Structure 1
Amino acid sequence: MVRRIAVCLVSLLLTTPVWAQEQQSPPESGGGSGMATDMSKMGPWTRKPTNEAKTRKEIEAFFKEEEALMKRRDFEGGLARMDFPVVMATDDSKGVPMAETYDRQRYTEMMRPMFEQMPADMQMTHKPTITVLSDSLATFTDDFTITTGGKKYSGRNGGLLVKRDGQWKWKTMYEAGWGDMPASGVGGSGTAGESEPPKK
């Protein structure tokens, strides 16, 4: 979907100058549809990472801090690392995808009970793969394992991180398989901001 939007935008920008030249009178200022667009001043080619290695290290540190917060059961500390509103997405056993947006209050109401009920013996390991899009946008996937009650579970989740006011924060979190969970249920791997499935 994002790819389709990007292609449409680029196509529009590339064709707009030609269309504008065919007009009898110059287009009005203010960003109207008839304005020729300078492609050199917008688009992903203008926002390439200035130091990708440095940004990657910042995000790796962000993940380590997240693990420390989880071990301390610091829910409020975790909240401070969310760029509200956040988007959470999952799917159900039939493969039907779903996603919802959560503000701070709604996220807290849903996530705090899960956080407080987390098993004391739960251990997690993470293997994130980070893709840096710019100095302020990065995506990731995380291959994780959870060990609790003598059983081990493994899975993969992902999301979008944004850098706002100099701090990396969670913006979008997605993890498959939680769509059949009752609204009052508890779930999620804990990687993507202690993710739990969106309600239907």
Structure 2
Amino acid sequence: MQQETEYGQQAFTPSAEDLAGVEAWFAEYDALAARGAVREIADLAVFPLNLATDVPGGFAAVRQWDREEFIQVMTEVMGGGTGDMEMKSVRTPHFLTSNLVLVETEATVVVEGRRQSMRYADLLVRTTDGWAFQTMVQGGWGHGWPPATRG
């Protein structure tokens, strides 16, 4: 639902159906991740995929991945899936418009008794086929990446 703001811009307030659509997208993503179904996860993305992270002890780093690079990296990261992990996520969608939603995730993962907390965000875009992720933002992935530069 579009609303007029004091600046004359349109603000979007999501409906229950809008929120349910994003929740359903993440339920599908989580189920695929649990199985390690990286190629099917790639089907839920728009490429090139934007990534923003940071270089530990340094600055921000950004990249774009094509489908093949995403599959290669995520296969290494996910291995046989995340089903053996205990993962709890709290996701907070921030709808920019009816077609753009930034979703902040606070997650806790327990692997072999070790607990790790993380925060990340995804930009989902509404496509003709439904929601897709287009940008991933999470700290700590930039090992070996060059720092971002302006201009």
Q: TM-score range by the shorter chain?
A: 0.7 to 0.9
Q: CA deviation at 1:178?
A: 2.3
Alpha-carbon spacing, 1:60–1:114, altered in 2? closer, same or farther (3 Å): same
Instruction: Name the residue aligned to 1:177.
Output: 140
Provide the TM-score with structure 1 as the length reference: 0.63
Alignment of 1:83-94 (within 5 A): 83-94=46-57
Shift of 1:62: 0.9
Q: 1:119 to 1:70 in 2, by over 3 A?
A: closer
Q: Is the contact between residue 50 and residue 63 of structure 2 (CA under 8 Å) also seen in structure 1?
A: yes
What is the number of residues matched between the two proteins?
139
Q: Displacement of 1:119 after TM fit?
A: 6.4
Q: Any idea what the Cα deviations from partners look like across 1:64-101, whole Å, max 9, x if unmatched?
A: 11111122222222111011111011112224000101
Find the counterpart in structure 1 of residue 5 from structure 2: none
> Separation in 2 of the partners of 1:164 and 1:156?
26
Runs in 1 of length 4+ with deviation above 6 angstroms? Answer: none
Match for 2:34 among 71, 91, 108?
A: 71
Unaligned runs of 5+ in 2: 1-7, 147-151
CA distance in 2 between counterparts of 1:151 and 1:159 reads: 25
Rounded to whole Å, the distance in 2 between the matches of 1:96 and 1:71 is 32
**Structure 2 counterpart of 1:122, one-letter code:** M
The whole-number CA distance in structure 1 between the counterparts of 2:83 and 2:118 is: 20
SS at 1:138's partner residue? strand
Question: How do 1:101-180 residues align onto structure 2 when only pairs under 5 Å count?
Answer: 101-116=64-79, 118=81, 121-180=84-143
Which consecutive residues of structure 1, in runs of 5 or more, have no partner in the other structure?
A: 1-42, 183-198
Shift of 1:174: 0.7
1: distance between equivalents of 2:82 and 2:92?
27
Q: Contact 1:52/1:132 (CA < 8 Å) preserved in 2?
A: no
Instruction: Report the AA paired with residue 167 of structure 1.
Output: G
Q: 2:39–2:71: 8 Å Cα contact kept in structure 1?
A: no
Summarize the Cα distance change of 1:124–1:50 in structure 2 as closer, same or farther, 3 Å threshold. Answer: closer
Greater relative contact order structure (CA < 8 Å, 6+ sep): 2
